Structure 1
Amino acid sequence: MEGDRVTVLIGHAAPTRALARPSGRTLRFLPPSLFVLDAVLIAFVTGAAAYFAHGMPYLDPQVGLTIADQAAGTLLVAGWLLVIALGGGYRSQVLGGGSDEYKRVLNASLTYTGLLALVLFLAQAEVSRAFFVLLFAIGLPTLLLSRWTARYALHRARQAGRLGVPVLIAGSPRHVDEVHAVLDRARWLGYRVVGAITPAGDTTPGLSSVPVVGSTDDVTTAALHADAQVILFAGGSSVSAQDLQEKVWELEERGIGVVVTQGATGITSNRVSYRPVGGLPLMHLDTPAWAQATRLSKRTFDVVGALALLAFLSPLFLFIALRIKLHDGGPVLFKQTRVGRQSVPFHCAKFRTMVPNAEDLLAALHVSTGYDGGLFKMEDDPRITRPGRWLRRFSLDELPQLWNVVRGDMSLVGPRPPLPHEVAQYDNAARRRLHVRPGMTGLWQVSGRSDLSWEAAIRLDLYYVDHWSMLQDLHILWRTLGVVVLGRGAY
């Protein structure tokens, strides 16, 4: 034990990576294209900041740009691009998926702001404060918006079947099916599964929709025959760490990309650092992300955000309450016991969307639908009222939970708040969800909502617990707007 770290001896295994962005030959144009786009935007923003700060005297033909002005502007643009590049903002593995891309651009830009301020101070340069402030006040949002626009265009192209990377999944049939289901649901990632590679003689049930094209004994031959650009190693793909390492070496020699699912170790990459000792790599594990998710900064953000939304949406609250009351005369709110952080129960409030005796009808629905545990959802639940269908479609029934956020029972973003009988079925892994406050929205909502299986919802919640960051919370809130407006996966 070393401070807040745990040291694990991992022998000669290659560092395991989580599912990353495809880096095949098809998308080699993406990093240089974003580099050029950023260069144009930073140059434009530099000119705009000079215009608003100085009135752009350089456009006067009698004044013009001096050589010093041109050099300073070029260095400004080049320096910003260099810091973004050094911060990994153009790495193909982070482009097009997750919040890591935005975080790298944001951190690099803030770092460059500090470095530039320090250089200008030491050089005693005469630079307008207005220009300096405007440069980053305009430039940073512009860069982030351009990345979002580029990502949106890329996702639309991938969902339409273009710009995909042909992938083979290597592993046992059960693991192949699990990974294929995730990739099929998240087509915007750009992985186009063309087949599976399984251990010879493995008769495990599975592979209902993925053709087997080879054996894990010779993944390179299978990849070449299938013209795959990436091999994705899932569980059961190798008999040992040394076996996996040798396969990776052979694939890299042929120019075939390699991705290893995080499930091979269960350890998130952002917690890992390596230190070789005596020729053996030691993996050091930092404090888990869920420990950060319980601190004051997130709680302050939750309270301020919830109070602001309560004030802003108060007219909508009144309209919904009248609509429910006038429909059948029943209560406006429905309160249900849910389980919060550290297994503490609380009363979760919602606008009522079902008939008043909905709980009495639940047992009969369990029997008729063959319910066997987990989250119970019906696409055409007969208990839902007419105004309730509208409220559920756009998740407006959950707005009263803003008060739960203010009270401290919930967070704006987090795992789905479970029912007590669901928690009773948790295994040790699922109980990790209870390390943080449940959320009004989360990865489960922006990734499919009620369309997700119980296992998929649990996996997403655990990923959030282990990967929490404030920037990811903001990213989820932004994606929630689109999901709620379109009403996808809600019933």
Structure 2
Amino acid sequence: MYAKYMKRPLDFVLSLMAILVLSPGFLVLTILGAIAMRGNPFFIQLRPGKKGKDGKERIFKLIKFRTMDNRKDKEGNLLPDDIRLNKYGRILRSTSLDELPELFNILKGDMSLIGPRPLLVKYLVRYSEEQRKRHDVRPGLTGYAQAYGRNSLTWEEKFEKDVYYVNHISLLLDMKIIFKTIFVVLKREGISSEVSATMEEFMGNESAVQVNV
């Protein structure tokens, strides 16, 4: 009942209210981002969303505040993430302020407030059938994996939590995730993985049964 009839209307109302209330903050962060990044303060990238009736993920444009600049080496290649993630970007990432523009994705219907985080399109062929169930619902601004481990989890642990959420969606679980997310953000836990300034690339796993999309 909740997942089918209540979740999307709540997403629309709450995201609209948040955008209106936070609009002055959006303006300030847009100006500061343009200065800190020496140009476009927004990061826009294609991400897979909820599966359609044809069983394929709907691809949408995710929008965030940029946290990494575009510095390149002498050969014109982008420098490593930990170098391009400048001080301003680290502040945005540690406070999760970089995620705020995704409220517009939620308002539009690409995303939900709560759900598995939208990952890269190229990961689609690397999922097992079980892992791909994370796309049975809209991706979220935050989710079960973000509230309970964030980037300190392995990819396999993240996907296990994503699928658990898909199988157990409820208003109570969403409320728990929201409050837990606030706690995690305030404590700034799990911002980076143990081996990367952000999160290492998901390369698939030996047990994954790859699918064509």
Note if 1:352 corresponds to 2:78: no
**1:394–1:490 CA contact under 8 A, matched in 2:** no
Superposition deviation, residue 327 in structure 1 = 2.0
Give the whole-Å Cα distance in 2 for the aligned partners of 1:411 and 1:449: 18
The residue correspondences of 1:67-86 to structure 2 (distance < 5 A) are none
Residue number in structure 1 paired with 2:210: none
Give the whole-Å Cα distance in 1 for the aligned partners of 2:114 and 2:93: 18
Give the whole-Å Cα distance in 2 for the aligned partners of 1:302 and 1:292: 12
Residue number in structure 2 paired with 1:319: 28
Superposition deviation, residue 330 in structure 1 = 1.3
**1:335–1:347 CA contact under 8 A, matched in 2:** yes
Secondary structure of the residue aligned to 1:424 is helix
Which structure exhibits the higher relative contact order, with contacts defined as CA atoms closer than 8 Å and separated by 6 or more residues? 2
**1:302–1:411 CA contact under 8 A, matched in 2:** yes
Give the whole-Å Cα distance in 2 for the aligned partners of 1:470 and 1:437: 15
Give the whole-Å Cα distance in 2 for the aligned partners of 1:470 and 1:328: 39
User: What do the CA deviations read for 1:108-158 (whole angstroms, capped 9, x no partner)?
Assistant: xxxxxxxxxxxxxxxxxxxxxxxxxxxxxxxxxxxxxxxxxxxxxxxxxxx
Give the whole-Å Cα distance in 2 for the aligned partners of 1:422 and 1:406: 25
Residue number in structure 2 paired with 1:424: 125
Superposition deviation, residue 334 in structure 1 = 0.6
Give the whole-Å Cα distance in 2 for the aligned partners of 1:361 and 1:472: 43
Residue number in structure 2 paired with 1:411: 112
**1:351–1:398 CA contact under 8 A, matched in 2:** yes
Give the whole-Å Cα distance in 1 for the aligned partners of 2:77 and 2:148: 30
Note if 1:397 corresponds to 2:106: no
Residue 144 of structure 2, aligned match among 423, 427, 443: 443
Residue number in structure 1 paired with 2:161: 460
Secondary structure of the residue aligned to 1:341 is strand
**2:37–2:68 CA contact under 8 A, matched in 1:** no
Residue number in structure 2 paired with 1:107: none
Give the whole-Å Cα distance in 2 for the aligned partners of 1:340 and 1:328: 28
Superposition deviation, residue 469 in structure 1 = 0.4
TM-score with structure 1 length normalisation?
A: 0.36
Residue number in structure 1 paired with 2:209: none
Residue number in structure 1 paired with 2:54: none
Alpha-carbon RMSD: 1.8
Secondary structure of the residue aligned to 2:39 is coil
The residue correspondences of 1:329-348 to structure 2 (distance < 5 A) are 329-342=38-51, 343-348=57-62
**2:42–2:64 CA contact under 8 A, matched in 1:** yes
TM-score with structure 2 length normalisation?
A: 0.81
Give the whole-Å Cα distance in 1 for the aligned partners of 2:139 and 2:149: 18
Note if 1:382 corresponds to 2:80: no
Give the whole-Å Cα distance in 2 for the aligned partners of 1:437 and 1:414: 6
User: What do the CA deviations read for 1:22-60 (whole angstroms, capped 9, x no partner)?
Assistant: xxxxxxxxxxxxxxxxxxxxxxxxxxxxxxxxxxxxxxx
Secondary structure of the residue aligned to 1:440 is strand
Give the whole-Å Cα distance in 2 for the aligned partners of 1:348 and 1:434: 15
Give the letter aligned to residue 466 of structure 1: N
Aligned length: 184
Give the whole-Å Cα distance in 2 for the aligned partners of 1:324 and 1:349: 14
Residue number in structure 2 paired with 1:186: none
Give the whole-Å Cα distance in 1 for the aligned partners of 2:17 and 2:71: 34
Secondary structure of the residue aligned to 1:331 is coil
The residue correspondences of 1:217-366 to structure 2 (distance < 5 A) are 293=3, 295-342=4-51, 343-356=57-70, 361=77, 365=80
Give the whole-Å Cα distance in 2 for the aligned partners of 1:348 and 1:328: 19
Give the whole-Å Cα distance in 2 for the aligned partners of 1:334 and 1:439: 17
Give the whole-Å Cα distance in 1 for the aligned partners of 2:129 and 2:166: 14
Give the whole-Å Cα distance in 1 for the aligned partners of 2:119 and 2:37: 28
Q: Which has the higher helix share?
A: 1
Give the letter aligned to residue 423 of structure 1: L
Secondary structure of the residue aligned to 1:340 is strand
Query: Over alpha carbons, which structure has the higher Rg?
Result: 1
